[in-house]
Amino acid sequence: MIYQRSSALFAEAKNYIPGGVNSPVRAFKAVGGDPIFVKSAKGAYLFDEDGNKLIDYIASWGPLILGHAYEPVINAVIDKAKKGTSFGMPTEIETELAQLAVSMVPNIDKIRFVNSGTEACMSAVRLARGYTGKEKIIKFAGCYHGHSDSFLIQAGSGAVTFGSPNSPGVTQGTAKDTLLAMYNDLESVRELTSANQGEIAAVIIEPVAGNMGCIIPTEEFIKGLRKLCTDENILLIFDEVMTGFRLGRGGAQEVLGVDADIVTFGKVIGGGLPVGAFAACEDIMNQLAPDGPVYQAGTLSGNPLAMSAGLAMLTELNNNSGIFRSLADKTAYLHKGLEKVLTETGIAHQINRFGSMISVHFTQEPVVDFESSAKGNNETFKKYFHGMLEQGVYLPPSAFESYFLNDALSYKDLDTTINALKRIANDLK
């Protein structure tokens, strides 16, 4: 395929935008080469500036669960835009979306809309600290909760030490209040709670991780984490920015059978527009301003365009719960096909899958946390990514990202993807 115009556009963008992109993974640094510039999209397909058609496996990193330019969502946004794009005042549609979300998700009474997943997670942690009167939080290595300072933390020198900043601009003072545990390792959480008795406000986790590839929690780990938080009077925050309204109507809480104290949302809840949200029981949510002392605000929060897209999307999902089974079946079909090719070709690999999330790791070891994910052969992944791209298949341009399937993908598209891997498999050795 030819990408001359995309390359020219990237060179131009770098003159005015840091790195030429507005989110780092788009720059292809992890895989090499120049990023693809999209001109339009429809259903399961991307159409780039060079006229190439690509089967899409990122779905705008998750929100386009029903495919690109899904007509009910597009029409809802168009109709609402004709009446004004933003008012900075209350609108009825905010309550309509809130009512629908609360009815779909177990264990929440009230929800507050924001503008991104980062903002949702940042606000959830502030709320947890305000509600509990405690300052420290625990997060897990490899889980991404946005780029708020509290979350950009890497491991310290030991399991019970404080973390340290992994980005310039994050202060040591901020880092000292974030403790780092290992995913799927309940003992690492116990060590931290024991060493910081009475100081931890919340544990925040991606209940099914998507930022070190798709990582599935063991039942013992996720249910043990719930019990530990209850026993230690710590709030459990599920970051469902990726999993919310994707794994099922009620997200990971429903599918895993585990209730969190606070849940954050993004992606699907905005139908492709910038929306985030956080939700909890009435007692916790009533601590938010203007009812309570915990301050949180946003000029564009709940803007009518975003609310209309989210309402249209959630309405479709709520009215057709079979969508989640359809997506899971398609993802399982893709899993089986890719695994067959890689096994027959003798390429070391692990494929993780949960619902409509899936990732391929080029390693012999099971991938259960960030450490095992990082052992994947990145050189093989680069060949895989570019080889599939040449075959017209667009995958996440990083070995540490989950694929997100959309329901517009047909079984013919899945077969095309599996056959594309067959054509390049020998080049991956």
- Contact present, 63 and 272 (Cβ < 8 Å): yes
Residue 295 backbone class (left: φ over 0; alpha: ψ -120 to 50; beta: rest): beta
10 & 96 share domain: no
Four-CA torsion 267, 270, 274, 278, nearest 10 degrees: -70
Q: What is the mean pLDDT of residues 331-352?
A: 98
86 & 125 share domain: yes
345 & 386 share domain: yes
Give per-residue pLDDT as tens, 147-195: 888 888 764 433 334 456 777 888 787 878 999 999 999 999 999 999 9
pLDDT score at 408: 98
Average pLDDT, the chain: 95
253 & 337 share domain: no
Count of structural domains within the chain: 2
Joined together, the tokens standing for residue 21 give 């992109």
Nearest CA to 342 among 402, 410, 429? Answer: 429
Q: Which residues form the catalytic set? A: 144, 239, 267
Comparing 54 with 159, which gets the higher pLDDT? 54
Q: What is the mean pLDDT of residues 382-403?
A: 97
- Contact present, 360 and 384 (Cβ < 8 Å): yes
114 pLDDT above the threshold of 80: yes
9 pLDDT above the threshold of 70: yes
Q: What is the mean pLDDT of residues 296-313?
A: 97
Question: Which of 319, 353, 376 delimits the end of a domain?
Answer: 319
List the CATH number of the domain containing 341: 3.90.1150.10
328 & 302 share domain: no
Four-CA torsion 117, 119, 120, 123, nearest 10 degrees: 160
344 & 298 share domain: no
Question: Which of 319, 337, 356 delimits the end of a domain?
Answer: 319
Residue 52: domain span: 4-69+321-428
149 & 219 share domain: yes
List the CATH number of the domain containing 126: 3.40.640.10
Return d(Cα 214, Cα 403) in angstroms, integer: 8
Burial classification of residue 267, based on how many CB atoms lie within 10 Å of its CB (0-12 exposed, 13-18 middle, 19 or more buried): buried
225 & 302 share domain: yes
The whole-model pTM stands at 0.96
Q: From the centroid of its chain, how far is CA 139?
A: 15
pLDDT score at 261: 98
101 & 199 share domain: yes
pLDDT score at 158: 38
120 & 162 share domain: yes
pLDDT score at 164: 63
Return d(Cα 149, Cα 88) in angstroms, integer: 27
145 pLDDT above the threshold of 80: yes
pLDDT score at 332: 98
Question: Which of 270, 302, 319 delimits the end of a domain?
Answer: 319
Q: What is the mean pLDDT of residues 227-235?
A: 98
- Contact present, 298 and 119 (Cβ < 8 Å): yes
312 & 336 share domain: no
52 pLDDT above the threshold of 60: yes
pLDDT score at 159: 37
Give per-residue pLDDT as tens, 407-421: 999 999 999 999 999
240 & 378 share domain: no
- Contact present, 399 and 375 (Cβ < 8 Å): no
Kindly report which listed range (64-68, 159-163, 316-320) carries the lowest average pLDDT score. Answer: 159-163
